[in-house]
């Protein structure tokens, strides 16, 4: 193939400058990421723009009336407080349990494979089904009150609106059982990439088991823990079905209020405003975790 040279003379195409050959077609990298860009635009950017438009647009044009109505609703602030409290209590407990189970499994106990499959069973159960399972435990005529009755302690109204602390306890226990397995799977996967030579070398130099966990395993697990922390925080912000099955609206959460405004109160504008609050909190939490963990030693090595 011939192309015009500097003075109009034909030159072989293979001798053309690389920049001249690439000028007529898009870079290969752009072609490779184009499907992802289209996918993200269709499934994230467009719904985000539509949501912002719905939350800040009324019959007469742009408005903040729906945001003000959301802020004036006492249930919104109760839901915000309950969601924050759930995250503060639930996330550390889930990580402590998941890490303990993963470290126990790393010791390769007898029937380790069976232990793993039993511990991840809750992953196969939907949120609502998990809530119904624990409803049968905590309800007035549930299994827990049956045991207490046989022990002579009498039944207790665990899920009554008059006992907000026990309602919160029931939601925490149910979420702890349902969602800890996800953190457990991520931690187990991270431990598979930690060479046992590091642990054995530390033991040879006299490090105790606690020191090996703290100074050898945990630094190697930081990327996995970071992923699990972000995912669990976002999913905890979106918790709804378990609390709805156990307490109804007696223990409101942010996503539950989105459901209430959209389906029960027939006001999608306020529901979208609450959903945008959940999205903003998720982004802030993810960015905060990334900045915090990248600033710690060992994250760049």
Tens digits of residue pLDDT in 196-245: 888 888 888 888 888 888 888 888 888 899 889 999 999 999 888 999 99
Full domain range(s) for residue 148 = 74-294
Helix (H, G, I), strand (E, B) or coil at 145: helix
Total structural domains in the chain?
A: 1
Tens digits of residue pLDDT in 106-133: 887 788 788 888 888 998 899 999 999 9
Is 80 part of any domain? yes
Q: Which tokens in the block code for residue 145?
A: 């009150």
Neighbours of 195 (CB within 10 A): 10
Length of the chain, please?
301
Is 34 part of any domain? no
Is 6 part of any domain? no
The answer to whether residues 145 and 155 touch, using CB atoms and an 8 Å cutoff, is: yes
Is 53 part of any domain? no
Per-residue pLDDT band at 26 (split at 50, 70, 90): low
Angle CA 164–167–170, to nearest 5: 155
What lies within 8 Å, CB to CB, of 231 at 6+ separation is 182, 186
Q: What is the DSSP string of 20-52?
A: HHHTTS--HHHHHHHHHHHHHIIIIIHHHHHHH
What lies within 8 Å, CB to CB, of 203 at 6+ separation is 212
- CA distance from start to end of the chain: 50
Is 60 part of any domain? no
Tens digits of residue pLDDT in 159-190: 988 889 999 999 999 999 999 999 999 999 99
Is 62 part of any domain? no
The CATH number covering residue 162 comes to 1.10.3720.10
The answer to whether residues 184 and 119 touch, using CB atoms and an 8 Å cutoff, is: yes
The answer to whether residues 256 and 245 touch, using CB atoms and an 8 Å cutoff, is: no
Tens digits of residue pLDDT in 231-271: 999 999 988 899 999 998 899 999 999 999 999 999 999 99
The answer to whether residues 181 and 121 touch, using CB atoms and an 8 Å cutoff, is: yes
């Amino acid at each position: 193939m011939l192309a015009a040279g500097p003075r109009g003379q034909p030159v072989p195409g293979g001798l053309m400058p690389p920049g001249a050959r690439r000028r007529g077609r898009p870079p290969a990298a752009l072609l490779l990421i184009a499907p992802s860009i289209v996918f993200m635009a269709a499934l994230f950017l467009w719904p985000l723009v539509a949501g912002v438009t719905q939350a800040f647009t009324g019959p007469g044009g742009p408005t903040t009336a729906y945001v003000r109505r959301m802020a004036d609703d006492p249930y919104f602030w109760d839901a915000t407080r309950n969601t924050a409290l759930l995250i503060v209590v639930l996330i550390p407990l889930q990580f402590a349990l998941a890490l303990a189970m993963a470290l126990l499994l790393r010791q390769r106990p007898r029937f380790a494979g069976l232990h793993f499959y039993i511990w991840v069973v809750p992953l196969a159960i939907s949120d609502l089904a998990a809530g119904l399972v624990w409803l049968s435990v905590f309800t007035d005529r549930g299994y827990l009150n049956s045991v207490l009755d046989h022990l002579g302690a009498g039944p207790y109204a665990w899920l009554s609106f008059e006992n907000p602390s026990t309602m919160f306890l029931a939601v925490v226990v149910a979420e702890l059982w349902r969602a800890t397995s996800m953190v457990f799977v991520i931690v187990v996967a991270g431990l598979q990439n930690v060479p046992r030579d590091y642990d054995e070398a530390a033991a040879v130099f006299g490090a105790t088991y606690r020191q090996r966990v703290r100074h050898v395993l945990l630094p190697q697990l930081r990327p996995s823990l970071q992923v699990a922390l972000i995912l669990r925080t976002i999913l905890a912000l979106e918790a709804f079905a378990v609390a709805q099955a156990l307490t109804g609206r007696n223990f409101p959460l942010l996503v539950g209020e989105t459901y209430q405004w959209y389906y029960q109160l027939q006001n999608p504008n306020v529901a979208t405003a609450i959903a945008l609050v959940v999205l903003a909190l998720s982004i802030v939490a993810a960015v905060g975790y990334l900045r915090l963990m990248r600033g710690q030693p060992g994250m760049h090595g």
